[in-house]
Structure 1
Amino acid sequence: MSSRHSTWPVLLCIYNLPQWLCMKRKYIMMSLLIQGPRQPGNNIDVYLSPLIDDVRTLWDSGVKVYDAYKKEHFQLRAMIFYTINDFPAYGNLSGYKVKGKKACPVCENETSSIYLKNCKKLVYMDHRRFLPREVEHRTMQTRSNPYLRVKNTVLGKRSRDKKGAIWKKKSIFWDLPYWKDLKVGHCLDVMHIEKNVCDSLLGLLLNIQGKTKDGEKVRKDMVLLYKRRNLAPQQIGDRVLLPLACYNTTLEERRQFCQCLHDIKVPSTYSSNIKRLVSLKDRKLLGMKSHDCHVLMAHMIPIAIRGLLPDDVRNTITKLCLFFNNIHSKVIDVEQLDKWEKDIYVTLCELEMYFPPSFFDIMVHLIAHIVQEIKACGPVYLRYMYPFERYMGVLKGHVRNRNRPEGSIIEGYTSEEVIEFCKGNVILNI
């Protein structure tokens, strides 16, 4: 509600419920509310300590609970399966540095990064190392347990990090006795990964001012890295002209792309009205939300680019969109996961051949690890941020006094819980 005030709710959902209920608003519990005006950052462990103590009790001895259906008491035990959060919060919770040369929390020290001298940014490329041996002579080594690397790290926030260290603290989650045995403790947020990739892709294809990954500095870096002198910027008088690359579109092609999206009609509740996001005059898309990017990546972009761009570039973009469409399926064939993993590695390598290096930020690199998490944690739709983002919108609606937003949220949340409890008891007594 305000860029000067940041309030962090800590939400819990129950995975023992059926899949169609565990992410519903009724079964999401707000266990903590970290007050503002500033975000907790790496000090979040201080606020999580009471919750971790309760979770340890639930794991060690359990809590005696009454079962209203069987009308008997039983010993309730519980554990934290994994955390779901965006990428910056991933670094605060796990203690891993998600910025810099080794920003990938899965690759860690094996992260391959390149610094672009002219753009002055780090990019993460060289996805050939992920390819199977029959495709490429080199393959990625199996990642060892991260507990072996953080067990000697100081618990909590440190005052000063060692030079070159990739772990900035030892997370409080390591206090849980089972945490070191989990394959994935902190999940990658597919929702924000997809949104960032969609924004980068549309910015590049439509040459949107401020969002495009192409430009004079990028072309200079391409000459330095790949010796592509045919794409070098040309100085003609006071103007700098950029030769057309395979990923560039003409004004007519951008108009056709936007016109296609403008004319698409979808069933009610399928998505928002995409027509409102398209500006035919400026030939760009405006005001896209996370779910809009999901619908565009999974379904609409392959339709809109038909007949545009060279065949190889268009086919590669279509394969990237097909990958996002596959991973969002609610029913996944386990035998297909290895094929999806291999295909996305090949797709990322093909993108490196066609797209400028500035396109490959950390979000594009994290695509390579999504299938690994599906194998360990199950379908992606059970780890969406969408239900929690909607729930945060509900919490914002409770705010009546903007000078004390946390108090308003707690009052509104408590009132809802009490009403729900009383309503349930009335129905049960009847």
Structure 2
Amino acid sequence: MWTISDFPAYSMLSGWTTHGRLACPYCMDETDAFWLPNERKTSWFDCHRRFLSRNHALRRNKKNFRKNRVVSNSSPLELTGDEILFERIEDCVRSYGLGVTTEVGGNGHLPIQGYGEYHNWHKKSIFWELPYWRHHKLRHNLDVMHIEKNFFDNIINTVLNVPQKSKDNPNSRKDIKSICLRKELELTEDGKAPVPVFRVFGEAQKNFFRWLKDDIKFPDGYSSNLARCVDIGGNKLTGMKSHDCHVFMQRLLPIAFAELLPHHVHESLSGISSFFRVICSRTLKLEDITMLKQNIVLVDVPV
């Protein structure tokens, strides 16, 4: 009935490429993404405020997001399956020769006019041949474990300032100066980067690693031994599998930096943890399962 995958596989299954400026399969060509000249990558920072209600105070906030920017535009329209199929995909098939999966393969795509500029279609997914596919409100699901691991890696490497893996680097500081009002994070005249409030270093970092190595214990089978993932000499965590990151994000992150980071930073990290905990705790009730069984229709379609 649906697909479940990580974000790169989403591209292969849906036919919409999930990288570049038009990576979001929901916003499509109405994205607010922009290019970071120093980091040399696309950013979706401050693309979320247009999803807020029209009179929300954060829409008028010129300080805490992109500087001097007031968001007045609304969120993209939620397209139905018919609109996506007949107004977007079939139009590319007729106008630009967009191929189907059997022609272009699972991963490859043929360059067609407008690709990467005002659309990211690289093929017409074979799933559209299923008679019920265009009637689905949700066709593709994202695997939360992959997303959770990416979040964890970015957070922990940035907080611990792991070389080559931290998102806080000189190029990001240069981009901050051009898009944000963050004087305390801008590079100084001699090119040095001030220490940010979200970084754990020195004795606090050693205490964090000692806590993980000596004090954290879980029941057998709950997770792997996190003490083995602690590299005190390299000041980093290594060899953490997806499930280990899942356990850390939901059980340890709300308390790990409670006394090591300022309250507002710790509160933000706890909010991210709560977000994933809520998502993973949503389970189907018995009546929901019964309703699904009653509404499932088996269709014999050659794919």
TM value normalised by structure 1: 0.55
Q: Is the partner of 1:217 in helix, strand or coil? A: helix
Q: Is 2:53 aligned against 1:132?
A: yes
TM-superposed CA distance for 1:123, in Å, is 1.2
Q: 1:306 to 1:99 in 2, by over 3 A?
A: same
Amino acid corresponding to residue 150 of structure 1 in structure 2: I
Q: Is the partner of 1:122 in helix, strand or coil? A: strand
CA–CA distance in structure 2, aligned partners of residues 257 and 302 of structure 1: 13
TM value normalised by structure 2: 0.77
On the 8 A contact 1:231/1:242 being kept in 2, the answer is yes
Q: How many residues align?
A: 251
1:285 aligned residue (228, 234, 237): 237
Corresponding residue for residue 185 of structure 2: 231
CA–CA distance in structure 1, aligned partners of residues 30 and 206 of structure 2: 42
TM-superposed CA distance for 1:289, in Å, is 0.7
Q: 1:141 to 1:114 in 2, by over 3 A?
A: closer
| Equivalent residue runs for 1:188-337 within 5 Å | 188-234=142-188, 236=190, 240-262=191-213, 263-331=215-283
CA–CA distance in structure 2, aligned partners of residues 265 and 275 of structure 1: 9
CA–CA distance in structure 1, aligned partners of residues 199 and 113 of structure 2: 43
Amino acid corresponding to residue 125 of structure 1 in structure 2: F
Structure with more strand by fraction: 1
1:115 aligned residue (13, 16, 35): 35
Q: Is 2:131 aligned against 1:177?
A: yes
Deviates more, 1:136-145 or 1:245-254: 136-145
Please list the CA deviations of residues 275-294 of structure 1 after superposition, one character each: whole Å capped at 9, or x if unmatched: 11112233210011111110
Corresponding residue for residue 101 of structure 1: 21
Please list the CA deviations of residues 351-408 of structure 1 after superposition, one character each: whole Å capped at 9, or x if unmatched: xxxxxxxxxxxxxxxxxxxxxxxxxxx9xxxxxxxxxxxxxxxxxxxxxxxxxxxxxx
TM-superposed CA distance for 1:332, in Å, is 6.8
Query: Structure 1 unaligned runs (5+)?
Result: 1-80, 334-377, 379-430
Q: Is 2:77 aligned against 1:142?
A: yes
Q: Percent identity of the aligned residues?
A: 39
On the 8 A contact 1:102/1:112 being kept in 2, the answer is no
Deviates more, 1:162-171 or 1:264-273: 162-171
Amino acid corresponding to residue 52 of structure 2 in structure 1: L
On the 8 A contact 1:155/1:172 being kept in 2, the answer is no
CA–CA distance in structure 2, aligned partners of residues 319 and 332 of structure 1: 24
TM-superposed CA distance for 1:134, in Å, is 5.2
CA–CA distance in structure 1, aligned partners of residues 272 and 56 of structure 2: 19
Structure with greater Cα Rg: 1
